[in-house]
Amino acid sequence: MTGRIPDSFLDELVSRSDIVDIISARVPLKKAGREYKACCPFHNEKSPSFSVSAEKQFYHCFGCGAHGTVIGFLMQYEKMEFLDAVADLAQRAGLELPREAQAPRDPGSADLHDLMLRAARFFEQNLADNARAQAYVQKRGIDAKISAKFSLGYAPDAWERCSSALAARRRIGAGCCKWGSFSNAAANTAAASTTGSAID
């Protein structure tokens, strides 16, 4: 399965998915006022700092910074691909995937959309893991909900960190993120250095 899924479909999918049901099937949640709390499944902690909002259809950990919608939770917790998480939720909600999402994949090329999503997740996770970056966005008045809505991230001070991380996670041929193995379109995610390596 591949293809671009319209934002309107994703918005409807999130609104029709019960994030509390999805997460509570994997993490024991306790009701706390309007929200639900638990110890974060993404890092070790003794006091619960993981919060789930049924009203906002959103989760956030005040300890490690992990946050997102039900789609992001399945990707992070179940290690699902983006399209697999969408397909799983669509089946639960009784929604039919848009035709463009079911278009046959060209076996000779990588899914550019999937690659971009992986890169976005990499930078988002960097923001969640970096205390200095989090302090900066909080100082600018940007909360977790806004960060998730606009997929804000943080770029580490290293030229090849994203390329190396993506290549290590999933290799396509000689490596999905090494210069020379990108498709022409995917090459927009990196530039060649004078040594021939990829620069994020």
Domain boundaries, the chain: 1-104, 110-200
| Amino acid 175: pLDDT | 37
| Amino acid 176: pLDDT | 37
* Token pair 């001070």: residue: 157
Q: Kindly report the CATH number that applies to the domain delimited by 110-200.
A: 3.90.980.10
| Amino acid 18: pLDDT | 95
The secondary structure element, H or E, covering residue 161 is helix 161-169
Give CB contacts under 8 A, 24+ apart, made by 185-190: 185/112, 186/110, 186/112, 186/115, 189/115, 189/116, 189/119, 189/162, 190/162, 190/163
Count of other CB atoms within 10 angstroms of residue 179? 18
Which CATH fold would you assign to the domain 1-104? DNA Primase; Chain A (3.90.580)
pLDDT in tens, the chain (200 residues): 445 788 889 999 999 999 999 999 999 999 999 999 999 999 999 999 999 999 999 999 998 888 899 999 999 899 888 888 999 999 999 998 886 655 555 554 446 666 777 787 778 877 877 888 888 888 888 877 677 767 788 887 776 777 777 666 554 333 333 333 333 444 444 444 444 444 44
Predicted model pTM: 0.56
Q: Check: CB of residue 83 under 8 Å from CB of residue 8.
A: no
Closest CA to 188 of 94, 115, 118: 115
